[in-house]
Amino acid sequence: MAGRVVLIEDEANIAEAIRFLLSREGWQVKVHADGSDALAVIEAEAPDLVILDLMLPGKSGMEIIREIREVEAMAHLPVLMLTARGQLKDREMAERAGVTRFMTKPFSNTEVLTAVRDLNAQAQQGMPSVSSICDAG
Amino acid sequence: MTSLNLLAMVSIGYVTLLFMVAFWADRQALRGRSARFMRSPLIYTLSLSIYCTAWTFYGAVGYAARSGMEYITIYLGPTLVMIGWWWGLRKLVRVGRSQRISSIADLLSARYGKSNVLAIGVTVLAVIAVTPYIALQLQSITLSVAIFAEADPTRSHNESGTVFWIATGLAFFAILFGTRNLNANERHHGVVMAVALEAVVKLIALVAVGIFVVWGLAGGVEQVLDRVDQSPIGGWQVDGGRWTAITFLAASAFVCLPRMFQVMVVENEDERHLRVAAWAFPTYLLLISIFVVPIAAVGLELLPEGANPDLFVLTLPLSQGQNGLAMLSFLGGFSSATSMVIVAAMSLSTMVSNHIVMPIWLRTTGAFGGASVSGDVRSVVLFARRFSIAAIMGLGYAYYQISGGGAALAAIGLISFSGISQILPALVGGLFWRGATRSGALAGLFIGFTVWGYTLLLPEVAGGVFSAETLMQGPFGLHWLRPQALFGIEGLDPIVHCVLWSMSLNIAAYAIVSVCSFPSPMERLQGAQFVHVFDHSAGPGGWTGSVAQSEDLMIMSQRILGPDEAQVFFQAALKRQGGPGPLPEPTPVFLEQLERELSASIGAAAAHAMIGQIVSGAAVSVEDLLAVADESAQLLEYSSRLEAQSQELSRTARQLRETNQKLTQLSEQKDVFLSQVSHELRTPMTSVRAFSEILRDEPGLNAQEQHKYASIIHDEALRLTRLLNDLLDLSVLESGEVTLNVSHRHLSDILDHAVASALAGADGPLRVTRDRTAEAMEVETDVDRLSQVFINLIANAQKYCTAVAPELQISVSNTNGQVHVDFCDNGVGIPADFHEMIFEKFSRATPERAGGAGLGLAICKEIMRRLGGDISFQPALAGAAFRVTFPIQMKIEEIR
């Protein structure tokens, strides 16, 4: 079941592509280009999934994911990180920081969609998602 | 007429004087305060004159009367040696001193691996060759006494009794002064002084007789020359073969005769004395030989037919009633004979006792190496010396009695000379040829000695050994073995024949056997010591002291070799010795091994000095210390060279470290750059891929969407192209392979073009203000590149200036040929934390909304550097302000 996605991406064209793809799947996509207030946007939206770019103006994706994990309510929020810097050490660092999945640009659309579906399915089965908690509450 | 009594009194008085002089000199030397002249080269030179024996004193005149000028060869040989071979003598003296040589037999033995067989051989040879010579001296004294006896009919003359008493007296003198003490250096100051005094007496005597003959009898030099011409002497022809042979014999005997070796090497105080002797001794020979021919010529003329020419020196003054002069002459002859006999007996006795008597005594008493009998050994050695002197004098006396004193003096002298010359090849070879071996020396000596005995000694001296038939037909009818015509070579003078065969066979055997045999390690060592004596005069003397403390040696070795190595060395030595331990006995062998081991660490001289100090407790000599200092200096020089090298090394290491650091930095920069490039490429490619897949996979797109997405793909493709262009541009500029097209252009034209290009197709309303009067100047530079920089700056302003009414002010100034172009916009400027990295590659102060890769300003910086100018950010001004500076006229060397 599709839900809400927050996409933090400063490259307008890439954001547009992902927004297009996910909205076709039934997701509500909120695009945000700046890193500095990304956390506030995510908290405000309370999404089912976050797609996060690594290199962002204002604040890097790595800092944002750490902040997300510090918020108790979002400790298990699925976060898909996208980056054009596909080096191994970036991936390791991101995973340590709490990223659920890591993807390198450029990606195929199918990959992104599959990843989003998987993450959503896992969240539905295992951990209750933020939105479901909210709904329940 | 002089009575025999008077003669006896004068003789006894003279001998008493000699005793006193010798006694005094010995005492002075013993007290260590010998007078300066006793150590002078003069005394050394005079002592060398024992070469001139009674044979020279009496015999030379006889020689001249019989064979003309040939007697000169006897003087020529030593003169040639002294003048032409003094350096060889110097080496001999140095070897003698450094090896503590006591005789010529000792020298050869030492050289050829301390071989006692060789020493015995040389000793026997010397005794055989010298005994007739000693007899000759006794004979000359007898003859001279007989002359006086004839003239004094009042007394009956007992000839053999005289000889016996003379022999006994000489033996007594030799024993008294030759064996007074066992000096380590075997020097006998008393004997040397007496010999020197006798040298003066014989010179004065002969010169006095000569002067009397020339000016007293002949009436002047010219008259003497006339008489010489008239006498048979003037008519003698020179026999080249004999001249050569005898000159050679005299030269080699001068070096090889035991008594000559004694005074020249053993008694030598200072090797510098040789320098004086090199001219002084030939002068002495000249003086003593100059009157020989006049005396002979006048004697032949004045004395009755049949008078013995050997005694002209004595009989001429007597016949003229010059008794005083005759007495002086007698003393001269007496001096010549006695000095020779004393020194010869002394030197031979050293050889006989050291190499024959002592080894036999030691073996029979089994006292080998026993330290407890050292006190006894001393007296045994002294006894052996005295006994040997007595025996040698006895031999001479016996020979005199048996031979009956028949042969002419000169003949005996030459036979003796050629016998002793057999030592020469082994001696000279030993000094200069390291390859010479003991076997070679033995072979040469044996062959030479045998040939000498067979061809000369036996036929000439021991008359009757060979029958006339043997001489004519050869032994056992072997024609080619005739003693005086070996291998069928006939018609040669016996002396020449003997010298030719004995020397050539001697040398051949010596050389061939030496080449074919292998020297023992000891021979090698000693060979090197002899041949290179000037390189290491302080070489190992062979340690004999047994008072060394093994503990002391161990402690010293530990300091030098290090504890572990010293332990290993001492344990190995202990094992070799097989002793109970815990430390090896300080045997000479062990000490020498230790010295060699130590010298590898601290040098030969230092090792020698240190062991010497422990072993013998001897103070380190100045020579040792100098050698140590010498080695230390070499070590110092070596270490300073090492230090310089190590400094050089550390300098190189530092440079390498710096280079490495730079390379690492460059490598890191390259990694960062690649990572940045990859990021810059991936970003547009992500959009391209995503939208191309959307266009391909999504059938329900409307035309508007299709167009929009296709446009994105197009834009991103352009962005990729731009990025690649910039990268290539930067790469060319940075590598310096850029070619600049320098041309003249008005600055305002360039700016016109740049503004137009930068703003073409731009959507923002950027207003550009300029100062056309300031721009009115012609510049000489790469116009296209400069324009590229301007375009970049204007485009940046156009893209990033966020003011409501964006405005760019371009102002120009010119100071000292440097053109400044300032670009100032009215935006918010650049955040302070970006100021420092604004010209770095891929640095972006703003989000990527403008689609630049962040290479623009890096390219600008690089271009301006190429143009000999600069571009800088002016942080002080409001808005973004850049200053471009470049020379109005580009210099040639900057076009590179």
Q: List chain B residues with CB under 8 Å of A57.
A: 846-847
| Euclidean distance between CA atoms B186 and B238, whole angstroms | 43
Residue of A nearest to B705 (CA): A20
pLDDT score of A7 more than 90: yes
- Concatenating the DSSP letter of every residue in B452-469 gives HIIIIIIIIISTTSS-HH
* CA-closest candidate to residue B847, choices A66, A36, A34, A39: A34
Distance from CA of A83 to the nearest CA of B (A): 8
pLDDT at B590: 80
User: Of B135-144, B171-180, B689-698, which one has max mean pLDDT?
Assistant: B689-698
pLDDT bracket for residue B848 (50, 70, 90) = very low
Between helix A61-70 and helix A38-45 the angle, nearest 10°, is 40
Determine, for residues A107 and B678 on separate chains, whether the beta-carbon distance falls below 8 Å.
no
pLDDT at B256: 86
pLDDT at B622: 52
Lowest mean pLDDT among A72-76, B67-71, B536-540, B731-735: B536-540
pLDDT at A129: 43
C-alpha dist (Å) from residue A27 to A1, A23, A46, A48, B38: 9, 5, 14, 10, 131
Indicate the residue of B689, B846, B847 with minimum beta-carbon distance to A108.
B689
What average pLDDT does range B226-232 have in this prediction? 73
Count of other CB atoms within 10 angstroms of residue B470 = 18
Q: List chain B residues with CB under 8 Å of A17.
A: 686-687, 690-691, 694
The answer, yes or no, to whether the previous bond of A106 is cis (omega within 30 of 0) is: yes
pLDDT bracket for residue A30 (50, 70, 90) = very high
* CA-closest candidate to residue B845, choices A58, A123, A96: A58
Distance from CA of B838 to the nearest CA of A (A): 16
Question: A47, A17 in Cβ contact below 8 A?
Answer: no
pLDDT at B654: 93
Determine, for residues A106 and B675 on separate chains, whether the beta-carbon distance falls below 8 Å.
no
- The pair of structure tokens assigned to B287 is 């003086």
Q: List chain A residues with CB under 8 Å of B702.
A: none
Indicate the residue of A12, A14, A34 with minimum beta-carbon distance to B686.
A14
- Concatenating the DSSP letter of every residue in B230-296 gives HSGGGGPPP-HHHHHHHHHHHHHHHHHSHHHHIIIIIT-S-TTHHHHHHHHHHHHHHHHHTTHHHHH
Determine, for residues B686 and A55 on separate chains, whether the beta-carbon distance falls below 8 Å.
no
Higher pLDDT, B683 or A134: B683
The domains of chain A are located at 4-136
Phi-psi region of B11 (alpha: psi -120 to 50; beta: other; left: phi over 0): alpha
Looking at the DSSP bridge assignments, the partners of residue B825 are: B808
Q: Does A25 touch chain B if contact means CB atoms closer than 8 Å?
A: no
Lowest mean pLDDT among B630-639, B713-722, B807-816: B630-639
pLDDT at B180: 66
- Tell which of A18, A105, A112, A113 to mutate to test the B interface (max B CBs under 10 Å): A105
Determine, for residues B690 and A57 on separate chains, whether the beta-carbon distance falls below 8 Å.
no
- The pair of structure tokens assigned to B817 is 């040929």
Cα Rg of chain B, angstroms: 54
Phi-psi region of B487 (alpha: psi -120 to 50; beta: other; left: phi over 0): left
- Tell which of B680, B693, B723 to mutate to test the A interface (max A CBs under 10 Å): B693
Higher pLDDT, B56 or B811: B811
* CA-closest candidate to residue B545, choices B593, B505, B587: B587
| Euclidean distance between CA atoms B234 and B299, whole angstroms | 14
pLDDT score of B873 more than 90: no
Indicate the residue of A13, A85, A104 with minimum beta-carbon distance to B687.
A13
Q: List chain A residues with CB under 8 Å of B715.
A: 13
- The pair of structure tokens assigned to B202 is 């014989």
pLDDT at B375: 47
pLDDT score of B494 more than 90: no
What average pLDDT does range B132-157 have in this prediction? 73
Cα dihedral sign, B213-B215-B221-B222 = negative
Lowest mean pLDDT among A78-87, B534-543, B612-621, B829-838: B534-543
Q: Does A84 touch chain B if contact means CB atoms closer than 8 Å?
A: yes
Residue of A nearest to B695 (CA): A17
What average pLDDT does range B596-625 have in this prediction? 64
pLDDT of B264-277, one tens digit each? 888 877 778 888 88
Question: B441, B520 in Cβ contact below 8 A?
Answer: no
pLDDT score of B540 more than 70: no
The answer, yes or no, to whether the previous bond of B582 is cis (omega within 30 of 0) is: yes
Q: How many CA atoms lie within 13 A of B361 on its CB side?
A: 19
| Euclidean distance between CA atoms A44 and A39, whole angstroms | 8
Cα dihedral sign, B463-B468-B473-B475 = negative
Cα dihedral sign, B2-B6-B12-B18 = negative
CA B219 to the chain's CA centroid: 60
Question: B526, B430 in Cβ contact below 8 A?
Answer: no
What average pLDDT does range B597-611 have in this prediction? 68
Share of chain B above pLDDT 90, in %: 5
Q: List chain A residues with CB under 8 Å of B683.
A: 11, 14, 84, 105
What average pLDDT does range A63-80 have in this prediction? 88
CATH code, A4-136: 3.40.50.2300
Interface subset of B 675-714, CB within 8 angstroms of A: 675, 678-680, 682-683, 685-691, 693-694, 697-698, 712
Query: What 3 state SS string does B806-857 have?
Result: CEEEEEEEEECCEEEEEEEECCCCCCHHHCCCCCCCCCCCCCHHHCCCCCHH
Q: List chain A residues with CB under 8 Å of B848.
A: 10-11
pLDDT of B288-307, one tens digit each? 888 888 888 888 777 777 77
* CA-closest candidate to residue A112, choices A29, A55, A10, A12: A29
Q: Does B244 touch chain A if contact means CB atoms closer than 8 Å?
A: no
Which phi and psi angles does B541 have, rounded to 5°? -90, 0
pLDDT at B565: 80
Which amino acid does the sequence have at B133? Y
Distance from CA of B823 to the nearest CA of A (A): 26
pLDDT of B409-456, one tens digit each? 556 777 888 888 888 888 888 888 877 888 888 899 889 888 888 888
| Euclidean distance between CA atoms B572 and B555, whole angstroms | 16
Residue of B nearest to A12 (CA): B849
pLDDT at B849: 44
pLDDT at A93: 86
SS3 B791: helix
- The pair of structure tokens assigned to B312 is 């002209």
Q: Does A23 touch chain B if contact means CB atoms closer than 8 Å?
A: no
Determine, for residues B683 and A18 on separate chains, whether the beta-carbon distance falls below 8 Å.
no
pLDDT at B158: 61
* CA-closest candidate to residue B315, choices B303, B297, B301: B303
Cα dihedral sign, B844-B845-B849-B852 = negative
What average pLDDT does range B155-162 have in this prediction? 62
3-class SS shares of chain B: helix, strand, coil, % to 5: 75, 5, 25
pLDDT at B303: 76
Higher pLDDT, A118 or B230: A118
Q: Does B715 touch chain A if contact means CB atoms closer than 8 Å?
A: yes
pLDDT score of B512 more than 70: yes
What average pLDDT does range A10-30 have in this prediction? 90
C-alpha dist (Å) from residue B818 to B759, B779, B783, B868: 27, 10, 16, 10
| Euclidean distance between CA atoms A127 and B105, whole angstroms | 116
Find tokens 């939105």 and name the residue.
A131
pLDDT bracket for residue B1 (50, 70, 90) = very low
pLDDT at B130: 84
Looking at the DSSP bridge assignments, the partners of residue A82 are: A53, A103
- The pair of structure tokens assigned to B403 is 């031979």
* CA-closest candidate to residue B17, choices B190, B167, B181: B190
C-alpha dist (Å) from residue A119 to A92, A104, B303, B410: 19, 17, 154, 135
Mean residue pLDDT of chain B comes to 78
Determine, for residues B689 and A106 on separate chains, whether the beta-carbon distance falls below 8 Å.
yes
CA A11 to the chain's CA centroid: 15
Share of chain B above pLDDT 70, in %: 80
pLDDT score of B75 more than 80: yes
pLDDT of B452-471, one tens digit each? 888 887 776 655 555 555 65
pLDDT score of B127 more than 90: no
pLDDT of B750-772, one tens digit each? 998 888 888 887 666 788 888 88
Determine, for residues A107 and B686 on separate chains, whether the beta-carbon distance falls below 8 Å.
yes
Q: List chain B residues with CB under 8 Å of A81.
A: none
